[in-house]
Amino acid sequence: AEAQAAAACAIEHLNAGRAPVALIANDRLLTRRASALLVGAGVRLRDETGWKLSTTRAAASLMALLRAADARASTDEVLDWLKLSPAFPPQAVESLERRLRQRGVARWSAVPLDWRGADIDPQRTELQAARPLLLWLQDTAAALERSGQWAALQADEAGRQLIGVLRLGEGAHELDGLGEAAAGERGAKARWPLTAFAAWVRDVLEGAVFQPTVAGAPQVVVLPMAQRLGRRVAAVVAPGCDERHLSASPEPDSAWTAAQRELLGLPDREALARAEASAWAQLFDGAPVDALWRRHEAGEALLPSAFIDGIAPRPASELLPASALPAGGTAPPAARAPALLPERLSASAYDDLRTCPYRFFARRQLRLDEVDELDAEPDQGDLGNWLHAVLRAFHEARGDDRPGEDADRAALDALAERVALDMGLGDEVQAGGFLPYRAVWPSLREAYLRWLWPHEAEGWRFVAAEAEREQRVGRWALYGRLDRIDARRDAEGGESFVIDHKTESRARTEARVKEPMEDTQLAFYAALLPEPRLRAAYLSIADTRGERDEPAKLIEQTEVLAARDAIVQGLVHDLDRVAGGAAMRALGEGTACEYCAARGLCRKDFWTGAATGDGGEP
């Protein structure tokens, strides 16, 4: 609001024929906001304070290259560079990023070789060896040229200044001796590692000020308060005149004590206060002045600066008239999109429809979802994925062999290490976060084997792991990936067993089967195997040390065949209604809303509390 008021004051002066207007930069962030509003309104603005060259897009492009070139670069850092480099097709970079986020690869060194582009690593490795500063400048310019960033820098005003300040183009030989002097070497070229060169570039860009040029005479000039002296302006707008940003007794901007400042010849608090008061007095040099301040910042009350204490303020409503908005929230949404209805559904997709139709609309019809973090700490989901991959590799290699207890333990341990490395959970970053889960591996392994051996003794044999199945139900196709399928034969014939591994809390797994018709997952999996003799269960593998419960427990859905028939019938009915244009309402009930990815889209936190009907069925 203060930035809007400052921009409104400047425009009011310009409309009255008073130009140029001095915009005083007491608060840098506030001034940038007001400047953006003025430029957006078509005002010609010159910023004499400038801003650090390091904050420009050109500097971000160069630093992205240097960060990506590091041998220890994270996946995020390499992706940032690829997105800024015209040499790499955006579609290929987007596809690569999607795969990396699904896999959760935090370090570029852990990215599979067949996923990397042919030109990515060669361009990175060319900037990893130490070299003298002169060669760094020449090789960096060549790397920018190869990645397509050089042309973008030359086309940008800040980019051209960056090239000149760093001597990436002509004039590189002017810095030929800087490396030797900095390293304290004589008679030999100092070799700077990449980290030292990147730090030098960062310091140079931090010390350079970028001032964009303005075509024509400026209408608004941004300048510090002390530079008002001797400037001919028609009006002055001074935002940020509160006790924090315009203090009558400013704090010295260093850690020196009063005695040290005196010895160094630096101004003390009294000298700074006199200079501030003199600069304030120079504002009133025959031109009208608008001084603005805020009453609150970050939840704290603010007072006006002592310089304007006692002056009667002009109401802000004269510049920014208030507009009345009706109180109240929004109604729960109810979308209709039959044309976007997918014809293939997974168990999780149908569970979304049953839990909240609007979630199904957002995630399955609009295909919106949260973006996976690349550098997130390993969590329970990583443990589950790791355990699933280990057990799959174990059974696929073992088959129907029974090598013995010791051989089974050794095979599982070897596979656990190999799979952790393949999943990127063994690198220097993820290994530490995954350590608590690896610590419980011996107990999980023993729990699984203690369940497996009696299970096999009952005649069950492993058939498939991570088995992909598809089944048509009317016009709809159901598909899924089953953790495990076992089978056996007895006097009554063949029988199949669908088993889904769970590493969540035991109580949550047991709650899934309490109401057979409410559990979507096992009933949906059973629909993918339309066999007359079928069993389905969750195998809960949890660390239950200190508890009396067994660490591996088979939690069976005893009414899975009835649940299978009910879910098939309900699925066809629900999807036919959606295809017919039924409203996809946001239910907003239960714990499903607490961690829903579509919560921001349905705006549940802003509902009025009473749904308004629109003619569709609930």
* Domain spans of the chain, in order of start: 2-50+213-318, 54-210, 378-439
pLDDT given for residue 548 in this prediction: 64
Q: From residue 580, how far is each of 297, 340, 576 by CA, in Å? A: 52, 12, 6
C-alpha 272/C-alpha 268 separation (Å) is 6
Angle at 202 between CA 209 and CA 149, to 5 degrees: 85
Q: Is 49 left (phi over 0), alpha (psi -120 to 50) or beta?
A: alpha
Q: In the sheet where 220-223 sits, what is the strand order?
A: 45-47, 220-223, 21-24, 235-238, 289-291
- Determine how β-strand 461-473 pairs with β-strand 476-490: antiparallel
Query: What element of type H or E holds 41?
Result: none
Q: Are residues 610 and 332 in contact, defined by beta-carbon separation less than 8 angstroms?
A: no
> Which long-range contacts (C-beta less than 8 Å, at least 24 apart) are formed by 173-179?
173/134, 175/133, 175/134, 175/137, 176/133, 176/134, 178/133, 179/132, 179/133, 179/134
pLDDT given for residue 432 in this prediction: 62
pLDDT given for residue 335 in this prediction: 92
CATH number (3.40.50.1980, 3.40.50.300, 3.40.190.10, 3.30.420.40) of 2-50+213-318 reads 3.40.50.300
C-alpha 328/C-alpha 350 separation (Å) is 33
Q: Which position has the token pair 């940038």?
A: 32
Q: From residue 398, how far is each of 405, 409, 596 by CA, in Å? A: 12, 12, 40
> Which long-range contacts (C-beta less than 8 Å, at least 24 apart) are formed by 123-126?
123/69, 123/147, 124/68, 124/69, 124/73, 124/78, 125/69, 126/69
With H, G, I as helix, E, B as strand and everything else as coil, classify residue 196: helix
pLDDT given for residue 544 in this prediction: 60
C-alpha 480/C-alpha 465 separation (Å) is 12
pLDDT given for residue 612 in this prediction: 40
Q: Are residues 535 and 560 in contact, defined by beta-carbon separation less than 8 angstroms?
A: yes
Output DSSP code: residue 365. Answer: I
C-alpha 148/C-alpha 222 separation (Å) is 35
Please choose, from the candidates 70, 108, 71, the residue with its C-alpha nearest in 3D space to the C-alpha of residue 424: 108
Residues of the chain with pLDDT under 50: 181-188, 429, 610-618
pLDDT given for residue 184 in this prediction: 47
Output DSSP code: residue 108. Answer: G
Q: Are residues 525 and 422 in contact, defined by beta-carbon separation less than 8 angstroms?
A: no
pTM: predicted TM-score of the whole model, two decimal places: 0.68
